[in-house]
Structure 1
Amino acid sequence: MSTKTKLSLEKLYDLVNNEEDARICKDIPDSACQYTPKNYFVILFSNTLTKLGDTLSNPKTVLAWIMNYINAPVFLISFIVPIRESGSMLPQILIANYIRKLPVRKWIWVIGSILQAIALVGMGFTALNYSGTLAGWLIVGLLVVFSLSRGLCSVASKDVLGKTIPKTRRGTLKGYTVSVSGVLVLVAGLYLLFKSEEESTISFYSYILFFAASLWIIAALIYSFIFERKGETDGGANGFTEAISKLKLIKTDTQFRNFVISRSLLLCSALTAPYYVVLAQQHTGTESYILGLFIISNGIASIISAPIWGKMADRSSKDVMSKAALVTAILGILVFIIVTWIPTLKTLVWTYPIAFFILGIAHSGVRLGRKTYIVDMAGGNKRTDYVAVSNTLIGFILLVTGSIGALASTISTEGIILVLSLLGLVGAYKSYQLPNVE
């Protein structure tokens, strides 16, 4: 890096972090401090690209859209959200100990990103050349590879961030990443929104996956330029062994057990999402602008709702969980009524993006409420135990609840939404019964 570029990065870093005199380097060694500006923007650019890639390969929107377009069975579509989430969650407790034995961990992130890109290329190729059940199984298999690779990146990124960015600057970095990627997501949605109908071909949708894959490749290349000093290789205890040993908390800790039950029932906000996309295709068509509407509505929902839910969660996180779950359940019931008995609304294009927008707001509340609740419920080592056990259990429960898509052979798509929404009603009630922890 030239001296001029280095000085420019330092000035920009000081500007965005409001640093005037000495640079703050809390929680990282002084020897790494001089590389903080460079590492800051390397992480910012690479994470922004992968977040945009995440949106362009989102199982709730893009993948659900593509799988339904190529006539993959609905029961396979029902597994893509659980696999995406649990596939990246469960392996973390197995691989974290190994990764932390490595003195330099950025290459794990690079490898994970390249593997995700390869998986997406495989999905795009599958969509171009196959259809039906075979295509569905191939995409699900590639999604498993994608999710496991995502787990590699997740564990490595936390360690690299802790070694290269000062403690008081990590939140700001995440905030800028969300803001920049949010703008790019809206641009991507608008691009799809204004594409003409003749672009609504499987080739067009496959190219979206290819473009998303290229973002991960570029991100991996950028991330490789991080300056990471060799770190400790102690690693600590094996995460999986620790989690299994703490499973007795479910039996002995009533409040924690009720929280896990509530969180399991609240999964309806994530699991119902792909079915809204399927309904839109079934009743309004497969034009690319409809997919664009889904991407835009979901992006805006997250941006505008998170601050509101956050303030509410500071007062009562269990109420946020309950209210958000109630919105999800009522919405699902209304969609079932519309599709079953109101044909004029059923075939209206805007019905489904608007419903998806409301679902996005509710899902944001569910996520924020349950994350706040488990943090406030206990402190210290007990909090660590709660997170390890709940994530392990929810990972398995996600896979089990994904099998509800097997009902597609006996009931309709809107019927599955109804079943999940009724479970959401129970989840809202169970969340309301939890004690306040704030």
Structure 2
Amino acid sequence: MALHTAAYDALFGDDEGRVCRDIPESACNAQPENVSAHLISLAATKAGDGLADPKLVLAWVLNAVGAPAFLIGLLVPLREAGALVPQLFAAGAIRSLPVRKWAWALASAVQGVCVAGMGVAVLTLSGAAAGWGVIVCLSVFALARSVASVAYKDVLGKTVSKAKRGTTTGTADTLSAAVVLAFGLALSFGVLERSVSVVAAALFVAAGCWMLAAVVFSTLAEEPGATGGGGNAFETAISQLSLLRTDKQLQRFIATRGLLIATGLAPPYLVTIAAQRGGTDLGQLGPFIVASGLASVLSSYFWGRMSDTSSRRVLMYSAMMGSGALVLAVGATFLVPASLLAYAMAAVLFVLMIAYKGVRLGRSTHIVDMGNEDTRASYTALSNTAVGILLLLAAGFGVVASLAGTWVVIAVFACMCAAAAIVAAGLNEVQQA
């Protein structure tokens, strides 16, 4: 108890930490314990995400075991869209549960089993068999992730006070990024052998992270919530679509988030440009993981604190930063020598991942604070499903890259980020409501 309180006061201060907004009184009394449970659970799953990152780690290990290119190309769209599209239908079932922490805990445990399965696949199989093994595990992982995502926003809104949610998630991001950064540094400097077995071991560690998170999250003090809107998944999904026609702020938020998928889609293209001119051996994985992890360590807490003041500004600033980073990537493609290009792209990835962390924390805090107990799950499911459909369509960028060049896709992504900054300017300041 004393440890929970000390950590809570360190994050928010004695005076600020005692004020609760938009949560039940019983949840307010349990704030130190609940914030600690969120921090540990989120830090663990986010560390797992970094150790099993489809954009970097899974792509590299499948390349190392000789999996076909088309399977490697499925990793990011399958992971992202598979975790988003089903949410509109999952929301109704989750809504019928008075206490939703159990949905998240179960989904986290399933994700852990799936990541362990990926580790087994790359250790025991090769070529297309290894690729398909990872793809099957990733498909189930993504479905479990969709359940966890819908449940988490609702549980966060019920158990952590408004104006503390961004700080909580941002701090968890920073803690997890330190783990991922250490892994990247160990690969870069040869502390860990650059081999498939080491990457498989990292996947097993990631699986353990999800299992730990499932146990810790189940200890949350969550009050039973409203269950109106629960029931038949398809009927609930159709009824929720009316929000897209009537809620102008939801429309603008989805448009902003849809344009900002560019920050998540761009990293594999940066890696591709470096690989086309500098090679694709596993030894190049380290600098990219270091860049990604360092960006998270340095920016997540900052973005989280800013999100508690204005998630709208976080979305605007991160969009502008993402656009600038991608413009630099286009320039580096033509101006940087081949021998230095991998390092130049890792530097660009560093800036881009700072922007990406801002996008993730800004959009998460905004959707939670924009909604209330009755609309939060629906907002989350609608926005995630809409963006998931866009991500499925984004597979077409691979065709553009093969026909016109990878740099053209990166230029398009830069324009998308610039447009997102303009659209985000029209969002409400939901933290001030």
Taking structure 2 as the reference length, the TM-score comes to: 0.78
| C-alpha distance in 2 between matches for 1:258 and 1:274 | 27
- Which residue of 389, 393, 398 maps to 1:396? 389
Checking the alignment, whether the CA contact within 8 Å between 1:189 and 1:293 is kept in structure 2 is: yes
| C-alpha distance in 1 between matches for 2:364 and 2:104 | 25
Letter in 1 for 2:93: Y
TM-fit CA distance, 1:90: 2.0
- Which residue of 227, 236, 241 maps to 2:238? 241
Alignment correspondent of 2:77 = 82
TM-fit CA distance, 1:22: 10
| C-alpha distance in 2 between matches for 1:279 and 1:214 | 33
TM-fit CA distance, 1:427: 2.9
- Which residue of 248, 252, 264 maps to 1:270? 264
Checking the alignment, whether the CA contact within 8 Å between 1:53 and 1:212 is kept in structure 2 is: yes
Shift in CA distance, 427/204, structure 1 to aligned 2, threshold 3 Å: same
Letter in 2 for 1:183: A
Checking the alignment, whether the CA contact within 8 Å between 1:328 and 1:359 is kept in structure 2 is: yes
Q: Is the deviation greater in 314-323 or in 378-387? A: 378-387
Q: Is the deviation greater in 261-270 or in 147-156? A: 261-270
Q: Is the deviation greater in 66-75 or in 102-111? A: 66-75
Q: Is the deviation greater in 259-268 or in 168-177? A: 259-268
TM-fit CA distance, 1:107: 1.6
Identity across the alignment (%): 37
Shift in CA distance, 131/331, structure 1 to aligned 2, threshold 3 Å: farther
Is residue 2:330 matched to residue 1:337? no
TM-fit CA distance, 1:19: 3.1
Q: How many equivalent pairs are there? A: 419
1:53-202 correspondence runs (5 A): 53-167=48-162, 169-196=164-191, 199-202=193-196
| C-alpha distance in 1 between matches for 2:361 and 2:163 | 22
| C-alpha distance in 1 between matches for 2:414 and 2:37 | 44
Alignment correspondent of 2:211 = 217
TM-fit CA distance, 1:389: 5.5
Alignment correspondent of 1:351 = 344
| C-alpha distance in 1 between matches for 2:49 and 2:73 | 18
Checking the alignment, whether the CA contact within 8 Å between 1:243 and 1:392 is kept in structure 2 is: no
TM-fit CA distance, 1:211: 0.8
Cα deviation code 1:328-371 (max 9, x no counterpart):
542343354368xx44435xx52332232233245456667888
Alignment correspondent of 1:3 = none
Letter in 1 for 2:198: F
Checking the alignment, whether the CA contact within 8 Å between 1:85 and 1:147 is kept in structure 2 is: yes
| C-alpha distance in 2 between matches for 1:25 and 1:17 | 12
| C-alpha distance in 2 between matches for 1:259 and 1:213 | 33
Checking the alignment, whether the CA contact within 8 Å between 2:87 and 2:385 is kept in structure 1 is: no
| C-alpha distance in 1 between matches for 2:262 and 2:142 | 20
TM-fit CA distance, 1:435: 9.3
Is residue 2:418 matched to residue 1:419? no
Is residue 2:215 matched to residue 1:226? no
Letter in 1 for 2:265: L
TM-fit CA distance, 1:210: 0.8
Letter in 1 for 2:48: G
Cα deviation code 1:241-283 (max 9, x no counterpart):
2453455579xx8x99898777655533322312333455562
Checking the alignment, whether the CA contact within 8 Å between 1:305 and 1:364 is kept in structure 2 is: yes
Letter in 1 for 2:350: F
| C-alpha distance in 1 between matches for 2:210 and 2:314 | 35
Instruction: Give the gaps of 5 or more residues in structure 2.
Output: 428-433
Taking structure 1 as the reference length, the TM-score comes to: 0.77
Checking the alignment, whether the CA contact within 8 Å between 2:256 and 2:420 is kept in structure 1 is: yes
Aligned-partner SS, 1:300: helix
Checking the alignment, whether the CA contact within 8 Å between 2:187 and 2:286 is kept in structure 1 is: yes
Alignment correspondent of 1:295 = 289
Cα deviation code 1:380-405 (max 9, x no counterpart):
99999987655433211211212443
Checking the alignment, whether the CA contact within 8 Å between 1:331 and 1:359 is kept in structure 2 is: no
Shift in CA distance, 281/66, structure 1 to aligned 2, threshold 3 Å: farther
| C-alpha distance in 2 between matches for 1:302 and 1:163 | 26
TM-fit CA distance, 1:297: 0.9
Aligned-partner SS, 2:271: helix
TM-fit CA distance, 1:11: 5.1
Alignment correspondent of 2:431 = none
| C-alpha distance in 1 between matches for 2:6 and 2:358 | 37
TM-fit CA distance, 1:196: 4.5
Shift in CA distance, 44/247, structure 1 to aligned 2, threshold 3 Å: closer
Please give the root-mean-square deviation of Cα atoms over the aligned residues, in Å.
Answer: 4.3
| C-alpha distance in 2 between matches for 1:271 and 1:151 | 19
| C-alpha distance in 2 between matches for 1:359 and 1:138 | 31
Shift in CA distance, 74/273, structure 1 to aligned 2, threshold 3 Å: farther
Max Rg structure = 1
| C-alpha distance in 1 between matches for 2:273 and 2:321 | 22
Shift in CA distance, 130/279, structure 1 to aligned 2, threshold 3 Å: farther
Aligned-partner SS, 1:350: helix
